[in-house]
Amino acid sequence: MVFAKEAGSRNDRIVASAQEEIRRLARDGNALQSEVASSISSGLSIIGKIVGHGALTIFGQVKGELRASTVVIAEGAQMEGDVVAEELTIGGYVKGTIHANRVNLNSTAVVEGDIFHRTLAIEENARFEGTSRRNENAMDTPSRVQTNRPEAQAGNGNPKGNGSPDSLP
């Protein structure tokens, strides 16, 4: 019974640490203070695209694309896919490409992939396998989602739908 209590207190510490990180970001002016923080609990797995404008803390598993202004991937959480954020703090596992202006890898972080950033901080014992590239505004990335263009749907003789002529002059 004592072991279950200890495991619960460890999870409580992880949650409290992530919540403190979000409060710190809000105090520093890096997150919109009027935004409500959302979270994905440790028992939840999500497959798909997550888009938000406020703060998001992940304790569970996500496979897909993630976009939010402030993201905390807590210790024990797993993220597989691309992450785009203004401020990103990682304490768990991330496999994919990261585009964030400010990236902080906590000592428990494990990252496999490339990081495009304005600032990058890596604590001792964090693991990072990939490349990092400094960009002045790392969040300015073209969307991989192609929108349906009206001219492509109207049957204007251009099946490519990319605005280029069908043949060269």
pLDDT given for residue 139 in this prediction: 72
- Residue bearing the bigger pLDDT, 130 or 162: 130
CA dihedral sign of residues 7, 10, 16, 17: negative
Query: Do the beta carbons of residue 87 and residue 71 sit within 8 Å?
Result: yes
How far apart are the C-alpha atoms of 106 and 139, rounded to whole Å? 21
Query: Do the beta carbons of residue 54 and residue 69 sit within 8 Å?
Result: yes
What SS3 class is residue 9? helix
Mean pLDDT of the chain, nearest integer: 77
- Average pLDDT, integer, range 48-71: 95
Backbone dihedral angles phi then psi of residue 23, each to the nearest 5 degrees: -60, -40
Which string of DSSP letters, residue by residue, matches 16-81?
HHHHHHHHHHHHTTSS-TTSPPEEE-TT-EEEEEEE-SSEEEE-SEEEEEEEEEEEEE-TT-EEES
Radius of gyration, alpha carbons of the chain? 19
- Average pLDDT, integer, range 82-92: 97
pLDDT given for residue 80 in this prediction: 98
- Range scoring the smallest mean pLDDT among 34-38, 82-86, 121-125, 156-160: 156-160
Confidence of residue 35 (pLDDT cuts 50, 70, 90): low
pTM: 0.66
**Per-residue buried b or exposed e for 79-107, using 16+ beta carbons within 10 Å of the residue's own CB:** bebbbbbbbbbbbbbbebbbbbbbbbbbe
pLDDT at 127 over 80: yes
